[in-house]
Amino acid sequence: MLSFNRLVLNEWLKMSKKRSFFIPYAIIAVALVALSWAFKRWGGDMIGSASEFTAMMSSTSFFGQFTAMLAVIFTAGLVASEHSLGTIKFLMIRGQSRGKVLASKYAAALLFTLSLFVWLMAVGFASGAAFFGMEAGAGAWRDLWIAGGSSFVYSIVYVTLGFMMGVLTRSTGAAMGVGMAAVVFSSLTIPKSFYKYVLFPNADLSVYSHGGQPPIEGMTLPFSIAVLAVYMVLFLGASFVTFKKRDIA
């Protein structure tokens, strides 16, 4: 376990020592402060409190989707860049099994995504508190957790898809492109019955909150969770099987 934590630390340092590392955090902070200012100025009393503002910002229909994109962009290179830099050769001859190395990379991707959401919530709340005050209405906290939680799950699904693409294609560009395209496609729904087994309409679990209508007839929360679980297993299975067997050139 100690050695696994160290591998995750390695991966985290590889990400965080890049000069571009602060960019997603900066984008989130600037955008949230600007938006809370704009809502205060022109939004009338649309938003009443910090928690309301944060819930709205972190929902998939607002900033949650954008945060998912940031997460995909900044984790797409985790595997592919080792290939393109050529550092994979040193990484794979240090006595740590391939499965463990890949798992540490995936763990780092999850941690990074989590950190973006913690940051989104923290900045959203701070900025919201400054503009709208702390007073929270009934159910505001619950809304916040639903919005943030479903956006987080949504992001993890697409980060995992991008992660798999990075392993399969060894190309950062392909991983990023496919991951982002998937996020964009996610908001389109084809009203056909077969489409409910596709990943996209299931990724956003927040549609089921507040007694909302499912995107396609017959979909339920447990159904979507099951579909997501199957896709995640497939993505991770394909990644690990490929990575463990592959000849490293």
One-letter amino acid at 227 equals: V
Give the x/- contact pattern for other proteins in 207-236, rule: CB under 8 A: ------------------------------
Kindly state the DSSP code that residue 213 receives in the 8-state scheme: P
Give the x/- contact pattern for other proteins in 30-69, rule: CB under 8 A: ----------------------------------------
- Give Cα 44 to chain centroid, integer Å: 32
d(CA 44, CA 123) in angstroms, rounded, equals 22
d(CA 76, CA 81) in angstroms, rounded, equals 9
d(CA 180, CA 187) in angstroms, rounded, equals 12
Alpha helices (H) in 170-220, listed in sequence order = 172-186, 199-203
111 binds other proteins (CB under 8 A): no
Q: Which one among 31, 92, 111, 129 touches other proteins, defined by CB under 8 A?
A: 92
Q: Which one among 42, 44, 94, 213 touches other proteins, defined by CB under 8 A?
A: 94
d(CA 198, CA 177) in angstroms, rounded, equals 19
Could you give the count of Cα atoms lying within 13 Å of 213 in the half-sphere of its Cβ? Answer: 3
Between 11 and 143, whose beta carbon lies closer to other proteins? 11
Site for other proteins in 6-25 (CB under 8 A): 6-7, 9-10, 13-14, 17-19
115 binds other proteins (CB under 8 A): no
Find the shortest distance in angstroms from Cβ 11 to other proteins. Answer: 10
Residues at the site binding other proteins, with contacts judged by CB under 8 A: 2-3, 6-7, 9-10, 13-14, 17-19, 85-87, 89-90, 92-97, 245, 247-249
